[in-house]
């Protein structure tokens, strides 16, 4: 490294300590991947609470028929902001952030390839979030056209308020940040691996981040251009998406979902990565079928860009298009199913330890499969025509997003918290958190499948007193309260564990990937000496020289 003069205070103590480091300025000006990673996690935690409160307000309003706890206008703003927040400011930046923290450690690097770019990505996400939330302070309030912002509702004259403009600007900023982090990850993974860390040996989490990053750099430009067009429509009276002036509202749908469907894989692939790290360690077995997990991810990545039309069955694209999009969507179930089989085969016959990360990982499989099954069902155009825009859809995507991504995120937090902080999280509180989450989550969302089939539309601020609707919705709302409780337990767990958690040591779970060879929390420079890598489980090879994973591997130093 060339000599450089620090312009800003640099840390001398391992993170996340603020001791001896020069306070806030050291954080704000940081270009260290661990520090930026932690900032991502903190900021997404804040957004998770905000998005969760928005959800709770909606659920309270829906608890009984014909309530007027919140007005229809505010309800519209709430579901728009809730969906946007959870997707763009919680799940996505969390997964990017934990990737930024872990990828360099997992491949034995000192930092990301472009540390400053890394900081830029993070701050763009933060400012994008601020921009969107600022809209609440404007006279006309927050955006209220739903998270996919269909034209012409999002256009003049139907939305004369400024909300949608803030929405598009904020997401544009965030999206540019995401593209930059995707580029950064790709170059890091392709060029900064330590000696011996071949592409066939990188942890599966790193594979998932790599495929996700490719998806990001190829699909975010789609939505960036659509946001630009939407802004031009709104600010300069261009006519892209206004049918009244020759534009096309359907074009927006194609652009949005051309991005939107791959986006759901951006939200789930890194989650698969977390699960693929946790399950082997807590089953005390190497992952079953590494190549299949990695390969099927590449297949998912490729397929995911060709199925956007399943969000548009109600448009009337024609029989041929509907048939194609149905079949192509169902095809994705195959590589996804392959992974589920791999995880189960890894657990099969293993000495399973049900610590909190493993509990969440196991539940992830079940809840995610549940969401996957409804997903395959609505990939069939005729079924979708029946349930589209009903609570069945709300149930489906919360099963994959909460039951999938969020469960994996919790698994990841419990698993890597010791590495991030040097302390273990409380197992007792962890189990409370886990069971409250499972109960609250299923109570909130399972019933919504039935509500949907019974005809309850999504995005309505209230409903009439139809038979059972009141009690079913009440159950769902009680579930949401339990879920809120689970989040409180989780936050309390973080709070006490940070202060009084058991000291973790370098490798509390007896795991095998390189990040566990670094100190907990890792030194500012990550490794004094990167252990030799002769297989997929460097720390196993180190501990069992007589029984290496790849007995014939060439030694590279």
- Which positions touch other proteins (CB under 8 A)? 113-114, 179, 182-184, 186-187, 190-191, 217-222, 224-226, 228-229, 232, 236-240, 245-248, 251, 255
Residues near 407 by Cβ (< 8 Å), separated by ≥ 6?
A: 360, 361, 363, 364, 367, 368, 437
Is there binding between residue 55 and ligand HEM (CB under 6 A)? yes
**Out of Cu ion, other proteins, ligand HEM, none, which partner does residue 480 contact, by CB within 5 to 8 A per kind?**
ligand HEM
Min dist. Cβ of residue 406 to ligand HEM (A): 5
b/e sequence 481-505, b meaning 16+ C-beta within 10 Å: bbbbbbbebbeebbeebeeebeebe
Helix H or strand E segment including 498: helix 469-500
CA distance 118 to 111: 10
Binding site for Cu ion (CB under 5 A): 261
Residues near 488 by Cβ (< 8 Å), separated by ≥ 6?
A: none
- For residue 457, the cross-strand partners are 390
The contact mask relative to ligand HEM for 135-174 (x = CB under 6 A, - = no) is -----------xx---------------------------
Instruction: Look at residues 297, 276, 319 and name the one whose alpha carbon lies nearest to residue 512.
Output: 276
DSSP 310: G
Min dist. Cβ of residue 186 to other proteins (A): 6
Other Cβ atoms less than 10 A from the Cβ of 360: the count is 28
C-beta of 394 vs 517, nearer to ligand HEM:
394
Is there binding between residue 402 and ligand HEM (CB under 6 A)? yes
Is there binding between residue 92 and ligand HEM (CB under 6 A)? no
Residues near 384 by Cβ (< 8 Å), separated by ≥ 6?
A: 310, 313, 314, 378
C-beta of 48 vs 282, nearer to ligand HEM:
48
CA distance 10 to 96: 23
Min dist. Cβ of residue 56 to ligand HEM (A): 6
Q: Which of residues 449-508 bind ligand HEM (CB under 6 A)?
A: 458-459, 480, 483
Instruction: Look at residues 15, 92, 455 and name the one whose alpha carbon lies nearest to residue 270.
Output: 92
CB 434 within 8 A of CB 362: no
**Which of these ranges, 169-177, 197-205, 371-379, 394-402, lies near ligand HEM under the rule CB under 6 A?**
394-402
Residue 185, token pair as written in the block: 């990850």
Q: Which of residues 518-537 bind ligand HEM (CB under 6 A)?
A: none
Min dist. Cβ of residue 379 to Cu ion (A): 8
Min dist. Cβ of residue 401 to ligand HEM (A): 4
List of residues contacting ligand HEM (CB under 6 A): 52, 55, 58-59, 79-80, 82-83, 86-87, 91, 146-147, 394, 397-398, 401-402, 405-406, 444, 458-459, 480, 483
């Amino acid at each position: 490294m060339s000599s450089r003069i620090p312009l800003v205070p640099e840390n001398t103590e391992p993170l996340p300590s603020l001791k001896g480091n020069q306070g806030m300025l050291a954080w704000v000006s940081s270009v260290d991947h661990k520090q930026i990673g932690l900032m991502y996690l903190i900021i997404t935690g804040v957004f998770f609470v905000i998005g969760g409160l928005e959800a709770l307000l909606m659920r309270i309003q829906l608890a009984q028929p014909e309530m007027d706890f919140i007005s229809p206008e505010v309800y519209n703003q709430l579901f728009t902001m809730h969906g946007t927040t959870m997707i763009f400011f919680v799940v996505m930046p969390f997964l990017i952030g934990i990737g930024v923290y872990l990828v360099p450690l997992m491949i034995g690097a000192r930092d990301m390839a472009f540390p400053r770019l890394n900081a830029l990505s993070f701050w763009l996400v933060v400012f994008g979030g601020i921009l969107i939330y600022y809209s609440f302070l404007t006279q006309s309030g927050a955006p209220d056209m739903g998270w996919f912002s269909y034209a012409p509702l999002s256009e003049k004259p139907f939305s004369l308020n400024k909300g949608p403009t803030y929405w598009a600007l904020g997401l544009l900023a965030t999206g540019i940040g995401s593209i930059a982090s995707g580029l950064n990850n790709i170059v890091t993974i392709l060029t900064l691996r330590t000696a011996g860390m071949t592409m066939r040996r990188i942890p599966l989490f790193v594979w998932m981040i790599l495929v996700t990053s490719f998806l990001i750099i190829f699909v975010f430009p789609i939505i960036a251009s659509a946001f630009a067009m939407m802004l031009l429509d709104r600010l300069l009276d261009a006519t892209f998406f206004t049918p009244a002036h020759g534009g096309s509202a359907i074009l927006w749908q194609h652009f949005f979902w051309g991005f939107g469907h791959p986006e759901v894989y951006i939200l789930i692939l890194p989650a698969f990565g977390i699960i693929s790290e946790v399950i082997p360690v807590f089953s005390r077995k190497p992952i079953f079928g590494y190549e299949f997990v990695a390969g099927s991810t590449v297949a998912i990545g490729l397929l995911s860009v060709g199925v956007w039309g399943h969000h548009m069955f109600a448009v009337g694209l024609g029989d041929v298009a509907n048939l194609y999009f149905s079949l192509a969507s169902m095809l994705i179930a195959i590589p996804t199913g392959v992974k589920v089989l791999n995880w189960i085969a890894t657990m099969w016959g293993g000495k399973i330890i049900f610590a909190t990360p493993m509990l969440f990982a196991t539940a992830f499989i079940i809840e995610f499969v549940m969401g996957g099954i409804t997903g395959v069902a609505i990939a069939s155009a005729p079924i979708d025509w029946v349930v589209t825009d009903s609570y069945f859809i709300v149930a489906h995507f919360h099963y994959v997003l909460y039951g999938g991504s969020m469960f994996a995120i919790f698994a990841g937090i419990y698993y890597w918290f010791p590495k991030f902080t040097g302390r273990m999280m409380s197992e007792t509180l962890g189990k409370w958190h886990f069971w409250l989450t499972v109960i609250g989550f299923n109570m909130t969302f399972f019933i919504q499948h039935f509500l949907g089939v019974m005809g309850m539309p999504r995005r309505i601020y209230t409903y009439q007193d139809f038979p059972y609707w009141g009690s079913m919705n009440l159950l769902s709302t009680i579930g949401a309260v339990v879920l809120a409780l689970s989040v409180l337990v989780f936050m309390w767990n973080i709070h006490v564990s940070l202060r009084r958690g058991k000291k973790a040591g370098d490798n509390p779970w007896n795991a095998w990937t390189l990040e566990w060879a670094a100190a907990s929390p890792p030194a500012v420079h990550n490794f004094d000496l990167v252990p030799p890598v002769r297989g997929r489980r460097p720390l196993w090879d180190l501990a069992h020289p007589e029984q290496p994973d790849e007995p014939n591997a060439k030694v590279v130093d």
